[in-house]
Amino acid sequence: MPVRDARLTDVNTLVRGNCAMARETEGLELDPDRMRTGVEAVFADASKGRYWIEESHGATRGQLLVTYEWSDWRNAPVWWIQSVYVWPEARVRGVFRSLYAHVDLEAKAAGAAGLRLYVDLRNQSAQQVYERLGMDGGHYRLFEAMF
């Protein structure tokens, strides 16, 4: 499954995915205009973060945002997965794993000290979404990979 860097022309898709993710996992209706400004800020300053898209036949199937944080313990950056969303019609097709594998390789190639995902284990609605994506709990360990 091809994963590529998101482009500025993908902003509308990224906004829709982020809003859908917030709705599904948090029960929040976010302001798309405010979200658009936030997504565009990532493209304006790549040192803050980076989006990737997994697509098939020109259709976006999943998206992932990484931000970077300096780790003084490791004297290297740690990559944080801030959001990952797989479109409902693409779930259980390996999109999550494809995105993760790609970002894992990118992080290692860039000299990151690790790749992490923050998940609030108290958020049951988010847990249900993750389970529908095929994540069985092992994905927490997967995302806590320190290289």
How does pLDDT run across 71-98, given as a tens digit for each residue?
888 898 999 988 889 998 888 778 888 9
CA-nearest of 105, 92, 91, 88 to 145 is: 105
How does pLDDT run across 102-147, given as a tens digit for each residue?
999 999 999 999 888 766 667 777 677 667 666 666 655 555 666 7
Taking residue 95's Cβ as centre, other Cβ atoms within 10 Å add up to 26
The secondary structure of 112-134 as a DSSP string is -SEEEE---TT-HHHHHHHHHTT
| Whole-angstrom distance, CA of residue 113 vs CA of residue 127 | 27
Is the model's pLDDT at 61 over the cut of 90?
Answer: yes
How does pLDDT run across 3-59, given as a tens digit for each residue?
999 999 999 999 999 999 889 888 889 999 999 999 999 999 877 899 999 998 889
Q: What is the pLDDT of residue 30?
A: 92
Q: What is the pLDDT of residue 132?
A: 67
